[in-house]
Amino acid sequence: MISVCLIASFFAASPLVERINNNPANTWKARDYPANIISIAKAKENIKFPETQTAKKSFAPLSTGDFPETFNCGERWPGSIGPVRDVGTCGGSWAFATANVVAARLYTINKGVGPLSPQDLVSCCDDAYGCQGADIEVVWHHLHYGGVTTEECIPWVSGYGRVPLCPAHCKDGSNITRQWVKSYTMIEGGEPAMMKQMMEEGPIVGGFMMFADFLQYTSGIYHYVEGGFIAANTVMIFGWGVENGVKYWNCMNNWGPYWGENGFFRIQRGINTCSIEGLSSAGHFYF
Ligand SMILES: *[C@@H]1O[C@H](CO)[C@@H](O)[C@H](O)[C@H]1NC(C)=O
């Protein structure tokens, strides 16, 4: 009986996955992931966005015609897009997304230092909620006043949800040196404002409302199909393009390289699916 169930579950996709994959109108494919790759626990974090953003239902119809059809920060600034990492069961997407964006933007001013430390933020940003989430403005405030050190100095250890106290020294005993942003913006103005930010200064932090179908994404251009609201998620958006007439954003998730398109995903651009065009932000290295 047990082996029959195992065989059946090996071959049969869940009804949600079958419905997504069998509808030719969908521009993306789904699969059932094992629990070690996609756990509900890590998706349960509570991320707050400023009311000026969340209250916004539509954007001024600014022209996107002035922008190239495709743009990729990784090509524009080689080395800026760091490796995909895995937040584990910690609700710390806010720390990964902001650390990844600051790390990438250091490359745009020729001051790249490799991956920055989400652990530093989870452990040391006192006004965030560690593995339970954060108010994204509070995180940028911390990145402005406190900064963030390198992954090498404070490596990620909260993958199982335990958050150690803010360390006094790097793992190897040396003094902690941090990178900080001079200012930050909660981006308003939707698609063209996001594109302008990326072309001028590099990747941005993207926020979006995550629904059940997103967890099963495996390839293509995601747009909401069905499923209940899970939580907000934050990721790095680093480019855009068009495939078969469908516009998309290039994003890096924090669920390891075995989820999605090698850890990355594309999400439909220009229709504000899951509020992806309403909740982005970025730090700057100028005042
Ligand atoms: C580390 O920081 C301490 C305290 O600020 C300072 O006294 C010490 O000289 C620093 N060590 C190095 C190697 O810079």
Cβ(216)–Cβ(255) below 8 Å? no
User: Cα separation of 33 and 94, whole Å?
Assistant: 23
DSSP 165: P
Q: How far is the CA of 120 from the centre of ligand 1 (A)?
A: 19
Q: Which of 21, 39, 37 is nearest to 29 (CA)?
A: 21
8 Å CB contact between 205 and 188: no
Residue ranges per domain, the chain? Answer: 30-284
Report strand pairing: 46-48 vs 229-243.
unpaired
Q: What was the pLDDT predicted at 108? A: 96
What's the distance, CA 278 to chain centroid?
14
Per DSSP, what are the bridge partners of residue 246?
243
Place of tokens 């439909």: 268
Give the CA distances from residue 82 to residues 50, 197, 221, in Å, rounded to whole numbers and listed in that order: 28, 19, 22
Determine the Cα angle at 198 with ends 193 and 201, to 5°.
115
179 CA from centroid of ligand 1 (Å):
17
> pTM (2 decimals)?
0.92
What spacing in Å lies between the alpha carbon of 167 and ligand 1's midpoint? 15
Which CATH superfamily is 30-284 part of?
Answer: Cysteine proteinases (3.90.70.10)
Q: How far is the CA of 30 from the centre of ligand 1 (A)?
A: 52
Centroid of ligand 1 to alpha carbon of 130 (angstroms): 28
What separation in Å is there between the alpha carbon of 176 and the centre of ligand 1? 9
Residue 96 CA to ligand 1 center (angstroms) comes to 28
- pLDDT score for 26: 96
Whole-number pLDDT of residue 59? 64
CA of 174 to the centre of ligand 1 (A): 8
Q: Ligand 1 mean position to 114 CA, how many Å?
A: 23
pLDDT in tens, the chain (287 residues): 455 445 445 567 899 999 999 999 999 999 999 888 886 656 678 889 988 888 776 666 566 678 999 999 999 999 999 999 999 999 999 999 999 999 999 999 999 999 999 999 999 999 999 999 999 999 999 999 999 999 999 999 999 999 999 999 999 999 999 999 999 999 998 999 999 999 999 999 999 999 999 999 999 999 999 999 999 999 999 999 999 999 999 999 999 999 999 999 999 999 999 999 999 999 999 75
pLDDT at 1: 45
